[in-house]
Structure 1
Amino acid sequence: MNLLSRQSLIGTAVFAALTVIVGCNDSSDNVETQKNVSKGMDMSMFAKDAFIQEPKIVDCETGEGTKTTCYQLVTDGAPAGRAPGPFCPRTTSDGADVSGAWFSKEGTGDLVDITGEFILKLGEYYGDEKWMVYDAKTNKVRYTATKEACLGAAKPDVEEEYMQNCIECELSYLDDNFSRSFLIPTTPIPAESVGRVHTVGIALDGTELSAAAPVDAILGAYTIAAFDDCGGHINVHQGYHYHSTTGCTDKLTSDDGHAPLIGYASDGYAIYALKNLEGEEAESLDGCRGQTDEVRGYHYHAASPSENKFIECFRGETVRPEGPPHGAHPTGHPPRDAHAEKPEEK
């Protein structure tokens, strides 16, 4: 199966046939659920080739035990409409045009370009002279150029031979029958208390919006888990997935200047970009990075690209994932927030 050459299985008629269900669940909790009403997912917003099977509505049960219906969305692990990359530079003279990106050390603002110069100055950037992700004789960057190297660098305890590498993996490393399945409530169900983030949700190109990457573990092995300029990268468990949003999946949903839609959270609420069309950041967000307006109902706004998160928590109930947590990072470490305390209610 060639992941980069898809056959269109989903057309406009299919999306139109999947009616968006509008509603809410009443609850007497301290999350002010009357504000957490949403119109549900608009399937027409997804990219044409986002799914490899016709989306359907199925019976499901949330982790809280609520029986409801969910959209079942099956993807092949590749972003619809584009080929991922580039990720790691090949030489210390490579510029941003042939290189990817990474979180800023401040953990805020835009991603930083992984140029050849960035690789040269990693020791200075992180204040640790042990960094040496290139061969000083050839000026070639050390990167995971094979599937074996990709898998070796993805172990929780990275072997020494895979340290001092820029990590990149290819879609061709995925199993031939690789697929991802997402179950998302057709109508968001306001939760009695906020939920921890495992898999954040799904982007409009059909790929995962992932939980936080374990940056300390990655940097501790003297590796850089490079993103492409869209804020995503590949591993053999999740396929291509995002840890950041830089505008590659943005779609406008209204003409009121509101921030564009980037995807949907696992609880069914929409996730919009951080800034509106005038470049202003969303204000008055609650502890999960959500707010309510008359047009969109309750919805989230993503954090800035280098914050290593999209949202803080879930305001709605989610379907408990089966098997290993989908939030696992290429290094094999659990998500950074796996044991984090829940954010305070606001």
Structure 2
Amino acid sequence: MYRFHRFAGTMSIALVTLPALAHDGELHHIEAFFADANIVSGPSIVDCTLSGGTETTCFSITVKPDPKAYTPGPWCPTSITDTAESGGIWFLDGEIEDVDGAFITRLSEIYGDTNWQLFDPDTGAVRYTGTLEACEAAARPDVDPAYQNYCVQCLPEYVPEEASLTYVIPLHPQMTDAPSPTNRAGSGLAYNGVRLDGPAPVDAILGAYTIAPFDDCGGHVNTHVGYHYHAVTDCLQNAPATTTEVAETDKQIGIAMDGFPIMAHRDDLVDQLDACNGLMVEGAGYRYFAGAPGSNAILGCHVAEVGCTLENGTGVCDASAMARRGPPPAGAGAPPPPAD
């Protein structure tokens, strides 16, 4: 059951990076926050319609899903003798597990199913998707049978060089009566311009005897949104300093699609967080804290109406129309519908 009563009805909540200033002042804070992003255009102030139908003011920013501070990857090891440096990570029982060669050999033991066999027992070579065609065949919801028992990786070079995403996020959150899942527009946007996504469809991936690892930064690639995060690790530790007095232990790593700040994970707050991974902080207002890296939930849900993620970078944001169409289909490149 959602523990939503603790913040419902709090309509005027101060933000860390989006204080109640004139639009020029707000844009200054947003520009500073996304200084490390690979920006194509923006940020700019636009009119928008949020998921609950509220017509309000948002900021729009178009970014390439390419972090400047590091090169994404690796994901799949190529041999069962490979060490952790040759592969990424996977979620297992709420923790992260290195996807090294030894992990590949243990899959049948880990999941209690002898059908797992991602490697050639004679040579020790790991079967992995090494082309765009293989990536697309293995990462779709109905995995091509030819790619069952494969380590699935889609490389950044498979995404067109000109590809970008436009995020339209409310300047001032509009609270809802009940939380909403993060599987339509994603959880939010990290300060480096990389999407903070909803849960990865782990059950669907495992159901096809595939593993689709994340790199050590918690990210992987699909050909629709490019590189994106399903976990927040210490790769986002260089977030810019905030200008509002906050606890020294807090570090903002992103802005949620509903406009609230997303802070780095804190183990000491886990028992205090609501179902959406959020908390009211005295003197600072409501904020989210990213889930533990192995939790497969950067956010548990959104507490306010969300804006839009636009793939073509054009058009007016009407998130209410998107909400009426329902969630996207589940698959390795799209998050699943929420559990009941």
Shorter-chain TM-score tier: 0.7 to 0.9
In the TM superposition, residue 53 of structure 1 has moved relative to its aligned partner by: 1.5
Write the deviation string for residues 89-125 of structure 1: whole angstroms up to 9, x where unpaired: 1111111122111101x1x13x110010000111111
The CA distance in 2 between the partners of 1:303 and 1:327, in whole Å, is: 23
Corresponding residue to 1:260 among 239, 251, 262: 251
Q: Which amino acid aligns with 1:230?
A: C
Q: SS where residue 191 of structure 1 aligns?
A: strand
- Give the whole-Å Cα distance in 2 for the aligned partners of 1:329 and 1:81: 31
Aligned partner letter, 1:266: M
Q: Which residue of 1 aligns with 2:232?
A: 245
Question: What residue number does 2:152 align with?
Answer: 167
Deviation at 1:80, TM superposition (A): 2.8
Deviation at 1:328, TM superposition (A): 6.6
Residue 201 of structure 1 pairs with residue 188 of structure 2: yes
CA displacement at 1:64 relative to structure 2: 1.8
Q: Distance in 1 between matches of 2:278 and 2:194?
A: 22
C-alpha distance in structure 2 between counterparts of 1:335 and 1:145, whole Å:
23
Unaligned runs of 5+ in 2: 1-5, 19-28, 311-321
CA contact (8 A) 1:47 1:206 kept: no
Out of 208, 211, 215, the residue aligned to residue 224 of structure 1 is: 211
Q: Distance in 2 between matches of 1:245 and 1:39?
A: 19
Contact kept? 1:74, 1:182, Cα under 8 Å: yes
Does 1:69 pair with 2:57?
Answer: yes
- Cα–Cα, structure 1 residues 112 and 60, in superposed 2: closer, same or farther, change >3 Å? same
Matched residue SS, 1:227: coil
CA 166–311 in structure 1, closer or farther in 2 if over 3 Å, else same: same
**What is the CA-CA distance between 1:339 and the residue it aligns to?**
4.3
**Map 1:261-300 → 2, pairs under 5 A:** 261-275=252-266, 280-300=268-288
- Aligned 8 A contact 2:205 2:331 in 1: no
With 44-53 and 265-274 compared, the bigger mean Cα shift is at 44-53
Name the residue aligned to 1:38: 15
Take 2:231 and 2:84, find their aligned partners in 1: how far apart are those partners?
A: 18
3-state secondary structure, aligned to 2:189: strand
Taking only the aligned residue pairs, the percentage that are identical comes to 37
Residue of structure 2 in register with 1:122 after alignment: 107
Deviation larger for 244-253 or 297-306: 244-253
Q: What is the CA-CA distance between 1:197 and the residue it aligns to?
A: 1.6
1:150 corresponds to which of 116, 126, 135 = 135
Matched, 1:331 2:319: no
| 1:17-51 Cα distance to aligned partner (Å, 9 max, x none) | xxxxxxxxxxxx98131574434544222242431
**Equivalenced residues, count:** 306
CA distance in 1, matches of 2:326, 2:136: 18
The amino acid across from 2:126 in the alignment is V
CA distance in 2, matches of 1:121, 1:134: 11
What are the Cα deviations for residues 135-182 of structure 1, in whole angstroms up to 9, with x where unaligned? Answer: 111111111000010001022211221111111111111124311111
**155-164 vs 37-46, greater mean Cα deviation:** 37-46
Give the Cα–Cα distance (whole angstroms) in 1 for the partners of residues 175 and 105 of structure 2. Answer: 49
Would the aligned equivalents of 1:40 and 1:186 in 2 still touch at CA under 8 Å? no
- Which amino acid in structure 1 is aligned with residue 217 of structure 2? C
Which protein has the bigger helix share? 2
Deviation digits for residues 52-86 of structure 1 (CA, Å, limit 9, x no counterpart): 22311111111222221111111122223221001
**SS of corresponding position for 1:233:** strand
2:7, 2:289 → 1: CA distance?
A: 21
TM-score of the superposed pair, with normalisation by structure 1: 0.81
TM-score norm. by structure 2 comes to 0.82
